[in-house]
């Protein structure tokens, strides 16, 4: 079944995911509110997803997502990712960079949440309050490859 997110995702997201990395590091993400996160299926097929993120210096960023999402499972199987600036629908707004992702351990979650709060503040809290999603969450840490 196709999710709402799949139906609204910008067509250029898949093209950018297939094209691969053309930047190094996460400098292109500065000043943006959304990133295109590309994870990989076991078959090697890239899966692009627009996400909110928080930069923690130049060497890492955090993403919060549902603990049971497919991207968490894909990262567990293959930690390689691509990441670049995008709009809310995943339309690329700059080059993608290669990175390595991992699910953050429980004792590191407060750091990840702090970085995200600094990036989004009240707007994020209002959005999350409106959608009312109370399912378990996971934080992803991404570092440049």
Consecutive 10-residue averages of pLDDT for the chain (145 residues): 68 93 93 96 96 90 94 97 96 97 95 87 56 76 97
> 61 burial class (0-12, 13-18, 19+ CB within 10 angstroms)?
buried
Distance CA 13, CA 19 (A): 10
What pLDDT is attached to residue 1?
38
pLDDT at 125: 58
What's the total number of domains in the chain? 1
**pTM for this one?**
0.87
pLDDT of residue 129: 53
Host domain of residue 131: 4-144
Q: Cα angle at 14 between 8 and 15, to 5 degrees?
A: 130
CA 52 to each of CA 65, 85, 119: distance values in angstroms, whole numbers, following the listed order:
9, 10, 9
The conformation of residue 27, written as its DSSP 8-state character, comes to G
**Which domain CATH number covers 46?**
2.30.110.10
């Amino acid at each position: 079944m196709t999710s709402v997110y799949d139906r609204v995702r910008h067509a250029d997201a898949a093209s950018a995911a297939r094209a691969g990395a053309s930047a190094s590091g996460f400098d292109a993400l500065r000043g943006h509110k959304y990133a295109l996160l590309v994870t990989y299926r076991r078959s090697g097929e890239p899966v692009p997803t627009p996400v909110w993120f928080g930069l923690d210096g130049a060497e890492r960023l955090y993403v919060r997502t549902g603990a049971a999402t497919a991207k968490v499972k894909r990262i567990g199987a293959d930690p390689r990712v691509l990441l670049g600036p995008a709009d809310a629908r995943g339309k690329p707004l700059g080059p993608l960079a290669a990175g390595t992702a991992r699910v953050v351990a429980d004792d590191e979650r407060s750091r990840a949440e702090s970085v995200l709060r600094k990036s989004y503040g009240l707007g994020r809290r209002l959005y999350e309050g409106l959608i009312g999603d109370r399912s378990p969450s996971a934080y992803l840490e991404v570092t440049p490859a």
